[in-house]
Amino acid sequence: MSKVAMLIEKGYQEAEALVPYYRLLEAGYEVDVVGSESGVVYLSKQGYPLKSDLAADEAQAKNYIGLIVPGGGAPDIMRTKAGMVRLTRDMCDQGKVVAAICHGPQVLIEADVLRGKHCTSFKAVKTDVVNAGGLYEDSEVVVDGHLVTSRIPSDLPAFCREIVRLLETAKVSG
């Protein structure tokens, strides 16, 4: 299996969605853009359009090897969508690669999957991460098992490198 899901919602941060999206395509992965609704065009913080392939309520963790949660204002909306939270929790429970950047860990917090995990986030989310039981580190990328987290767009090279590394390991062992 070489399919990855990427959550999307209005207000996403362009680079934090598009850089991993295209990096994964380059590495040979199929990427499904998963929104709260299927076939909807979601606008980024700067108005860049990205259309969802399917709704989170339709997405099943068993069909994916990994999940990407970009940042920006989108995670604040994503964490209120039961389907997105369920998919995130299911991916973590099944030991799939889950990667979140910037405000993306807000979805991980809502899914209650950070307790005892080393992770990072945008500085404004640090207290929430710690209160959710996450072991916060101020680093460009933090990997804890199948979980990959980063802070800001300039961390994207390290973030993408670790995502691809873990996905390749998962493909070999899966």
Active site members: 102-103
Ordered DSSP codes for 105-118: HHHHHHTT--TT-E
CA distance readout (Å), 54 to 7, 67, 93, 164, 172: 10, 14, 22, 23, 27
Q: d(Cα 19, Cα 150) in Å, to the nearest integer?
A: 13
Length of the chain: 174
